[in-house]
């Protein structure tokens, strides 16, 4: 369960088994936060019968014109193995990626690209079915992503554009920052246990979960002495940490 849309970045979609989009309201089943509907993402479970593996490698390049040249690569691996045939199995899924960034920094003296990102993801599952109508699924997930980002201007709208001394990127792939190390990061660690019992009247499901979120951010807004003097632009550094969700 994720409390807001920003947390959707913590899911690696590489080894997803299925996605269900449910029309709202869904509050009776999933709680008060899903009045408009719910999106259920199910990742692959361990196989109780067969040993299996799946791997993916992605390589790409983007660039040209006034944007920066950027390379992207991603590697992913999924392993599943039965421990006790038809009763107990384990699976491990992991991935990592790197994007060198195609957003061009137009601030003088800082030609390095922005938009660089790295991500690492690890998920482990333990499936136990002591009988044909009872199952327990233990799920551990660890996700980390960091992005060296800078604000871009959409539709050429920015207060700083009124001031001739401001350095502001006006194209979608341009940004302005006196620093190339400002970043936003997201680290998620989660553990859940799902128990299901099939009866003649239906399936009883119990879910217990714990989640820890760290979301520190730091950066800089476009610099303009005139804009700052008129108290029209924020030019101070910001460095803060989002509250942790438990």
Q: Is residue 180 within 8 Å of 148, Cβ to Cβ?
A: yes
Please tell me which residue, 72 or 11, carries the higher pLDDT value: 72
pTM: 0.74
- Rounded CA-CA distance 166/175 in Å is 12
Q: What is the mean pLDDT of residues 84-91?
A: 95
Q: What burial letters (b/e) apply to 49-65, b meaning 16+ CB within 10 Å?
A: eeeeeeeeeeeeeeeee
Q: pLDDT averaged over the chain?
A: 77
- The pLDDT score that the predictor gives to residue 88 is 97
pLDDT tens for residues 220-238? Answer: 555 556 655 554 454 333 3
Please tell me which residue, 114 or 136, carries the higher pLDDT value: 136
Q: What burial letters (b/e) apply to 75-107, b meaning 16+ CB within 10 Å?
A: ebbbbbebeeeeebbbbebbbbbebbbbbbbbb
**Within 10 Å of residue 123's Cβ, how many Cβ atoms?**
22
Least confident of 71-85, 194-208, 229-243: 229-243
- The pLDDT score that the predictor gives to residue 241 is 39
pLDDT tens for residues 140-178? Answer: 999 988 877 665 555 455 555 566 666 666 666 777 666
pLDDT tens for residues 9-42? Answer: 556 777 788 888 988 888 777 777 777 888 888 8
- The pLDDT score that the predictor gives to residue 65 is 64
Phi, psi of 228, deg, nearest 5: -65, -40
Q: Is residue 220 within 8 Å of 177, Cβ to Cβ?
A: yes
């Amino acid at each position: 369960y994720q409390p807001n849309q920003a947390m959707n970045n913590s899911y690696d979609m590489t080894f997803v088994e299925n996605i269900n989009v449910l029309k709202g309201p869904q509050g009776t089943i999933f709680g008060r936060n899903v009045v408009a509907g719910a999106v259920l993402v199910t990742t692959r479970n361990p196989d109780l019968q067969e040993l299996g593996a799946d791997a993916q490698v992605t390589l790409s390049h983007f660039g040209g014109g006034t944007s920066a040249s950027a390379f992207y690569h991603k590697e992913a691996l999924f392993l599943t193995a039965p421990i006790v045939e038809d009763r107990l199995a384990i699976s491990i899924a992991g991935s990592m990626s790197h994007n060198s960034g195609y957003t061009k920094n137009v601030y003088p003296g800082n030609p390095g690209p922005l938009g660089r990102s790295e991500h690492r993801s690890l998920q482990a599952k333990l499936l136990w079915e002591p009988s044909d109508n009872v199952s327990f699924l233990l799920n551990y997930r660890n996700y980390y992503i960091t992005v060296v980002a800078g604000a871009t201007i959409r539709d050429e709208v920015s207060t700083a554009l009124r001031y001739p001394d401001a350095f502001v990127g006006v194209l979608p792939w341009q940004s302005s920052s006196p620093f190339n190390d400002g970043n936003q990061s997201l680290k998620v660690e989660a553990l859940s246990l799902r128990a299901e019992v099939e009866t003649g009247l239906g399936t009883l499901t119990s879910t217990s979960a714990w989640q820890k979120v760290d979301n520190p951010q730091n950066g800089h807004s476009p610099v303009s002495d005139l804009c700052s003097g008129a108290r029209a632009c924020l030019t101070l550094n910001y460095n803060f940490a989002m509250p942790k969700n438990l």
